Structure 1
Amino acid sequence: MMIKNIIFDFGGVLMDWDPKYLYQNVFSTEDEMNYFLENIATLKWNTEQDRGRSFKEATQILQNQYPEFSEEIALYYSQWPVMLKGEIENHVKIVQTLYGRYPLYGLTNWSAETFPYAYENYNFFKLFDGIVVSGEEGVIKPDEHIYKILLERYNLNASECLFIDDNYENIKAAQILDFNTIHLTPSVHLEKELQKLHLL
């Protein structure tokens, strides 16, 4: 196995993003917040924005369905940066260490409307040789097409790439396409895994 390129997912790997960081200050109780995020402004709903749906359309759809939560729904995007707590420092340090040793790429399910905010506010994104954002492409992981966009755009061979993601479905899809992978779970120590592969 010859790994020449390293590909990172962003949310949950390099960035700490969670709607609860916003809504814990909006609802009076945790139960109310959980009800809203599990039944109204769900991750499934948000995924469609990662696929390319506009915030305006997404917000209107939910407000029409749940007018009693109209104000809370509007906050999802007007206050979106509050959900982005910050970088996951120990993993970003690894990116900084790898920079210059290997070409680095990003493959992220992220809205085209909010990714620019993260890119401009967190300098480590500038270390990447290329980034594929699902919202710009109209396709999300684990659809094989977004992996192929990355490979073709940057002239990469999957068998020479290491893909790091915290979502198992995304990892499985990458493995089918012959990527080397690290499934980043809470029990996985990324630095040690990279050392095992002689990449650090």
Structure 2
Amino acid sequence: MLSSPITAIIFDLGGVLIDWNPRYLYQKLIPDEQEMTAFLTDVASPDWNEEQDAGRSLAEGTALLVAQHPQHKELIEHFYGRWSEMLGGAIQGTVDILTELKSSQRYHLYALTNWSAETFPVALEQFEFLHWFEGIVVSGTEKSRKPFPEFYHLLLTRYNVAPQQALFIDDNLRNIHAAQALGLQTIHFESPEQLRAELQALGVL
């Protein structure tokens, strides 16, 4: 059973509702799988991308990386120059769950996302379901990100959400652990089927 009645459900976006993966772009640019993996691990790394998610401008982030790896200048510039090609579409099974939750009118629905303020408008235009949330807190806009506690507090305070009455869904265990430390109830997302089963077991669906 839930430890406290749920009044709000907070979704992560990338990897939960939206299929975003740099490999969708770079498999076109770097045919060799090992070379592509090395580039996305050692050059255009998740840590580097997260700094843009935390508010650093795309131009500054790109320039810094090009200065460090000038031999990869063109590949680095494609990361944000062709960013939309990293979007694989909606994760439909999760969108179906969101649709049911919205239709039930039992919960306040929010999103808490690590996403660049400069690229998020692309997603807003492409995915209609993003307009179903009562509020979306975007890291790039706020100049903070998961898993930092102050980023979670921004949403909780802005929308008057009691942490013990909120259910947080994210595919990153690091972000789940941070939410738990703040008293939120959590589900570590692995697949739409697993999420549905856990929500049903909790009586949310």
Q: Which TM-score applies when normalising by structure 1?
A: 0.97
Could you tell me which runs of 5 or more consecutive residues in structure 2 were left unpaired when the two chains were aligned: none
Partner of 2:28, secondary structure, is coil
1:171 corresponds to: 176
Q: CA RMSD in A?
A: 1.2
Selected match of 2:15 from 9, 12, 16: 12
Aligned length: 200
**Is it true that 1:115 corresponds to 2:117 in the alignment?**
no
**Is it true that 1:81 corresponds to 2:74 in the alignment?**
no
Partner of 2:15, secondary structure, is coil
2:94, 2:192 within 8 Å by CA — same for their partners in 1?
A: no
Partner of 1:181, secondary structure, is strand
Selected match of 2:160 from 151, 155, 169: 155
Paired with 1:146 and 1:109, the residues of 2 have a C-alpha distance of 10
**Is it true that 1:139 corresponds to 2:156 in the alignment?**
no
Percent sequence identity over aligned pairs: 50
Greater shift, 182-191 or 111-120, is seen at 182-191
Runs of at least 4 residues off by over 6 Å: none
Paired with 2:175 and 2:188, the residues of 1 have a C-alpha distance of 9
Aligned pairs for 1:91-110 within 5 A? 91-99=94-102, 100-110=105-115
Residues 1-25 of structure 1 show CA distances to partners (whole Å, capped at 9, x for unaligned) of 2000100001111111110000000
Q: How far did residue 176 of structure 1 move?
A: 1.2
Could you tell me which runs of 5 or more consecutive residues in structure 1 were left unpaired when the two chains were aligned: none
Paired with 2:133 and 2:10, the residues of 1 have a C-alpha distance of 9
Q: Which TM-score applies when normalising by structure 2?
A: 0.95
1:33 corresponds to: 36
Greater shift, 178-187 or 152-161, is seen at 178-187
Partner of 2:141, secondary structure, is helix
